[in-house]
């Protein structure tokens, strides 16, 4: 059997584009999600990434069928928006459970199999919202910043085993993620129209954003590259923003981001 890739959240958006692209490039593709189906050379396995027992069973079954695991793409995620002060604690914990702990659990359950495959790698989906924290999308930015931190640490921990780890940070991408975002306008009496304006600006950028196929292409290149970078930014203008953020004083950079969404 050829190289085997597991993609979480592969039933829609970036994950679906990535699954199709890997399949066209002769990978055996398994996608893990709560809903999905076998199609276009992609094998679906039902699993909730927040449930360790479901992930454990899924990875064990994939390895039973293939006897190898070359690439894990941690793509599954969710978004919420709203003022920090008025964000429900349950909602805040839920986004960390999916975006951060889901990534952690997938790594944890996949590593015994990845370690048995020479040249294996883990690719985590992050976001430009990690280095550039977005107002009224604080928890999404925080989860992606945590994914970056996890990626950097894991890259060093797994280097002795020959397992490469990286994170891909797309900019605004046109997918169903925009419509699926859980939005809250609570606190409007205090914040006025600020929440609505910020979210509207963000969604306008997403709806006119890059194709998920562009992000999928970067995922495939990261999977194939002998020595991938630890962090990839997708989109030329976003590469510029991330570079500028490294150069400018933090206070100035943060104020500029605030103005973009005001």
Active site residue 126: yes
Q: What is the 3-state secondary structure (H, E, C) of the chain?
A: CCCEEEEECCCCHHHHHHHHHHHHCCCEEEEEECCCCCECCEEEEECCCCCHHHHHHHHHHHHHHHCCCCEEEECCCCCEECCHHHCCHHHHHHHHHHHHHHHHHHHHHHHHHHCCCCCCEEEEECCCCCCCCCCCCHHHHHHHHHHHHHHHHHHHHHHHHCCEEEEEEECCECCCHHHHCEECCCCHHHHCCHHHHHHHHHHHHHHCCECHHHHHHHHHHHHHCCCCCCEEEECHHHHHHHHHHHHCCHHHHHHHHHHHCC
The structure tokens listed for 36 are 């999905």
Catalytic residue among 126, 141, 232, 238: 126
Active site residue 11: yes
Active site residue 140: yes
Catalytic residue among 81, 144, 232, 238: 144
Catalytic residue among 30, 113, 140, 238: 140
Phi, psi of 147 (to 5 degrees): -60, -40
Q: How many CB atoms lie within 10 A of CB 206?
A: 19
- Looking at the annotation, which residues are catalytic? 11, 126, 140, 144
């Amino acid at each position: 059997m050829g190289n085997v890739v597991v993609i979480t959240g592969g039933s829609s958006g970036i994950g679906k584009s990535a699954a199709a692209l890997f399949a066209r490039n002769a990978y055996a593709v398994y996608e893990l999600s709560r809903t999905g189906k076998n199609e276009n050379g992609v094998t679906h396995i039902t699993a909730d990434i927040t449930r360790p027992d479901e992930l454990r069973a899924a990875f064990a079954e994939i390895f039973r069928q293939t006897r190898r695991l070359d690439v894990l793409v941690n793509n599954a995620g969710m978004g919420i928006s709203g003022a920090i002060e008025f964000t429900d604690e349950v909602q805040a914990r839920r986004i960390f459970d999916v975006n951060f702990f889901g990534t952690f659990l997938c790594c944890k359950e996949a590593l015994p199999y990845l370690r048995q495959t020479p040249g294996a790698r883990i690719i985590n989906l992050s976001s430009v919202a990690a280095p550039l924290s977005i107002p009224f999308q604080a928890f999404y930015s925080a989860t992606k910043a945590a994914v970056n931190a996890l990626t950097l640490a894991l890259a060093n921990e797994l280097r002795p085993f020959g397992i490469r780890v990286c994170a891909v940070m797309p900019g605004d991408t046109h997918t169903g993620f925009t419509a699926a975002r859980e939005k809250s306008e609570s606190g409007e009496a205090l914040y006025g129209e600020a929440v609505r304006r910020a979210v509207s600006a963000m969604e306008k950028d997403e709806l006119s954003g890059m194709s998920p196929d562009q992000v999928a292409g970067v995922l495939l290149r990261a999977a194939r590259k002998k020595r991938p970078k630890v962090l990839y930014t997708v989109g030329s203008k976003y590469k510029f923003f991330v570079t500028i953020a490294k150069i400018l004083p933090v206070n100035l950079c943060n104020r500029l981001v605030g103005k973009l969404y005001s």
